[in-house]
Amino acid sequence: MNRLNDRRADQLRPVNFELGIAPHASGSVLIGMGNTRVLCGVMIEESVPRWMKDQRVSGGWLTAEYSMLPYSTLTRKPRDISKGRLDGRSSEIQRLIGRSMRAVLDLEKLGARTIWVDCDVLQADGGTRTAAITGASLAVSLACQRLVDEKKIPESPIKKLVAAVSAGVIDDVALLDLDYEEDKAATVDLNLVATEDGALVEVQGAGEEATFSHEQLLEMLSLGRKGIADLIAGQRSVLARAVAGTG
């Protein structure tokens, strides 16, 4: 099938990382994947949740929140607070972001601190949850490096970078990094989270009123791994520039 801008089946949308968007945050990244834009900000509290104190759990904690701003979609999306509750999709996504980040974080090295990751979708065109995870990985890395620079911890608790990407099947063709129109047309939708060494963190896949074969699953996983490798290469480049003071 013909994709927007003649993208290949295994090609990501244009990816862009802008650092330091939120000056009061310990680390912040505005990630753009095509027309999807997500602002990821990290703040660190010098305390841990009460349940950790009550259960005498050592180390620190990381938690995430995710929201789509009212103007992020073509029609206004009401804020969750106006409904009096967090919608199921937002709750599921923020838990996914938290799980993804904790999988690559040494909470003992963090010390008795809580990392708050806030991911706000400014513009949605498919893949907002995967963009949020990829942006959060950078923002948390920057925030942890700041702890090291401020001599609050001896070394960064980040064990690996992590990134995420979508894949899907349209007209029996497996495609990487679906935009909104492709996502609507897909008969199979998959989200993949993996680390820089290829270890899987989470795989979410389902047929949309359809089934898919073992071979198609393997093809989507292969596309996802390639996409994540490309995203992490971009993260590494941005981090290197940030450390050198040129990012």
Mean pLDDT score across all residues of the chain:
94
d(CA 83, CA 85): 6
Residue 112, H or E segment: none
What's the pLDDT tens digit per position in 141-167? 999 999 999 999 999 999 999 999 999
Q: Considering the entire predicted model, what is its pTM?
A: 0.94
Count CA within 13 A, CB hemisphere, residue 192: 28
- Residue 239 pLDDT: 93
- Residue 78 pLDDT: 84
What's the pLDDT tens digit per position in 10-59? 999 999 999 999 999 999 999 999 999 999 999 999 999 999 999 999 99
Q: Is the pLDDT of residue 1 over 70?
A: no
d(CA 117, CA 122): 16
Specify the range with the lowest mean pLDDT, choosing from 89-93, 106-110, 154-158, 177-181.
Answer: 89-93
Ranges assigned E (strand) in 159-234: 162-170, 173-176, 188-195, 200-207
User: Of 222, 212, 64, 37, whose CA–CA distance to 127 is shortest?
Assistant: 37
What's the pLDDT tens digit per position in 228-247? 999 999 999 999 988 777 55
Instruction: Name the pLDDT band for 66 (thresholds 50, 70, 90).
Output: very high
Please give the order of strands across the beta sheet that includes 162-170: 173-176, 162-170, 188-195, 200-207
Q: What is the Cα 19 distance to its own chain's centre? A: 15
Specify the range with the lowest mean pLDDT, choosing from 1-10, 91-100, 104-113, 196-205.
Answer: 1-10
The residue-averaged pLDDT of 78-96 equals 82
With contact defined as beta carbons under 8 Å apart, do 162 and 181 qualify?
no
- Residue 4 pLDDT: 75
Please count the other Cβ atoms lying within 10 Å of the Cβ belonging to residue 93. Answer: 24
With contact defined as beta carbons under 8 Å apart, do 66 and 86 qualify?
no
Walk me through the domains of the chain, giving residue ranges and CATH numbers: 4-244 (3.30.230.70)
d(CA 194, CA 192): 7
